[in-house]
Amino acid sequence: MSVEDQVQQFRKKFQRIKVEVQKRIIGQDSVVEDILICLFANGHALIEGVPGLGKTRMIQTLSEVLDLSFKRIQFTPDMMPADITGTTILVEDQQGRKRFEFQSGPIFSQVILADEINRATPRTQSALLEAMQERTVSIARTTHKLGAPFCVFATQNPIEMDGTYPLPEAQLDRFLFKLKIEFPDRTDLIQIMQQTTSDHQTEIESVCEADSILQMQRLIRGVPIADHVAEYASLIVTATHADQPNASEMAKNYVELGASVRGLQALVLTAKIKALLDGRYNVAIEDIRTVTLPSLRHRLLINFEGQSEQISNDEIIKDILETQEIKS
């Protein structure tokens, strides 16, 4: 199959998956596309929004459409790391012989919904780190490999709400995207009400499977990126660091810690998907610009002055995009 045919096949399959998910999820088109981009980029997403906006329903629907195993983990302040990863227990067989046996936790699924992750303590939040980065879980000096594909979608309530714990920077950096779900407009709100309060169940079809997803992930990594586009992506990342020559004025004034190397990797990998969705087998600067906000908004640490002036990460990134647009 030619490259052009593979690109068109990717577009068709991606759009078909998106259409199926949107049968149940109303008014969140860009968020649905972004969670699909995360999955096909073999990454993880942090989804922020107040309770009741359909975050859980969205990820559960996605797992059904993709025919992947799904587990929802409800994070609470009293949850322990073993509640996520599993534990080793002592069992006795019929002959009375005792042995240790590993009981796997909910992390051993392909699609994980870490619901309200910022209601758990930092110790429990960190239990996801190895699984998210290494795709393995270590219990009692034994390493257990997770299946593929594997994707964590973590939801969190806005940090100013009571009973929440800010995610550690090391864990935030392991999320490919941070997405924000906004309250639906009146038209969408009426459609949601009609769909969820009637006796009609919206049927969805499974239109993909694990092998196809892995094949699409390989195609994405093969998309070439020109030197000038790669340089532009690196300029965006270095502009978030106050000590870099091309740092924006807002970054110099308000950023304590800029985006990491993972931020650059996220920019390029997700831009490749944007290129494929546009029918191209090459990355354009506009692809980089399109994914900059969800790729970097959670990777900046605002200093005390920025916090006191209530400067948001999104404001700084938008300022950087305007600055780099002039220089490009």
User: For position 172, which CATH number holds?
Assistant: 3.40.50.300
Measure the CA–CA gap between 323 and 248, rounded to whole angstroms.
7
**Residue 86's pLDDT is what?**
87
The helix or strand, by DSSP H or E, that contains position 179, with its residue range, turns out to be strand 177-180
Q: Do residues 149 and 130 share a domain?
A: yes
CB under 8 Å to 311, separation ≥6 — which residues? 250, 254, 302
Q: Do residues 157 and 250 share a domain?
A: no
Measure the CA–CA gap between 173 and 266, rounded to whole angstroms.
10
**Residue 327's pLDDT is what?**
43
| Domains of the chain: total | 2
* Average pLDDT rounded to a whole number, residues 10-26: 91
Which of these ranges, 27-31, 141-145, 186-190, has the smallest mean pLDDT? Answer: 141-145
Q: Do residues 67 and 210 share a domain?
A: yes
Q: How sure is the predictor about 328, in pLDDT bands with cuts at 50, 70 and 90?
A: very low
Q: Do residues 114 and 258 share a domain?
A: no
230-289 tens-digit pLDDT: 999 999 999 999 999 988 889 999 999 999 999 999 999 999 999 999 999 999 999 999
Q: How sure is the predictor about 325, in pLDDT bands with cuts at 50, 70 and 90?
A: low
Computed over every residue of the chain, the mean pLDDT equals 88
What CATH number does the domain containing 305 carry? 1.10.8.80
Output the six-digit token pair for 209: 């499977």
292-310 tens-digit pLDDT: 999 999 999 999 999 999 9
Q: How sure is the predictor about 25, in pLDDT bands with cuts at 50, 70 and 90?
A: confident
Which of these ranges, 14-18, 42-46, 190-194, 308-312, has the smallest mean pLDDT? Answer: 190-194
70-88 tens-digit pLDDT: 999 998 888 888 898 888 8
Q: Do residues 120 and 178 share a domain?
A: yes
Measure the CA–CA gap between 244 and 39, rounded to whole angstroms.
32
Q: Which of 181, 200, 221 is where one domain is finished?
A: 221
Angular region, 52: left φ>0, alpha ψ -120 to 50, beta rest: left
What's the sign of the alpha-carbon dihedral 15, 299, 214, 278?
A: positive
- b/e burial code for range 273-309 (CB count within 10 A of at least 16 → b): bbbbbeeebebbbebbbebbbbbbbbbbbbeeebeee
* Average pLDDT rounded to a whole number, residues 109-116: 91
Q: Do residues 261 and 215 share a domain?
A: no
* Average pLDDT rounded to a whole number, residues 114-133: 83
Confidence check: pLDDT of 99 > 60: yes
Q: Do residues 146 and 39 share a domain?
A: yes
Confidence check: pLDDT of 162 > 60: no
Q: Do residues 247 and 193 share a domain?
A: no
**Residue 295's pLDDT is what?**
96
**Residue 184's pLDDT is what?**
83
CB 135 within 8 A of CB 90: no
pTM of the predicted protein model: 0.88
Q: Do residues 192 and 269 share a domain?
A: no
Q: Which of 173, 202, 221 is where one domain is finished?
A: 221
Confidence check: pLDDT of 324 > 80: no
Which of these ranges, 62-66, 131-135, 139-143, 277-281, has the smallest mean pLDDT? Answer: 139-143
Q: Which of 200, 221, 242 is where one domain is finished?
A: 221
Measure the CA–CA gap between 86 and 108, rounded to whole angstroms.
9
Q: Do residues 199 and 54 share a domain?
A: yes
Helix/strand number for the chain, H first, E second: 15, 11
Domain that holds residue 47: 1-221
Q: Do residues 30 and 167 share a domain?
A: yes
Q: Do residues 158 and 270 share a domain?
A: no
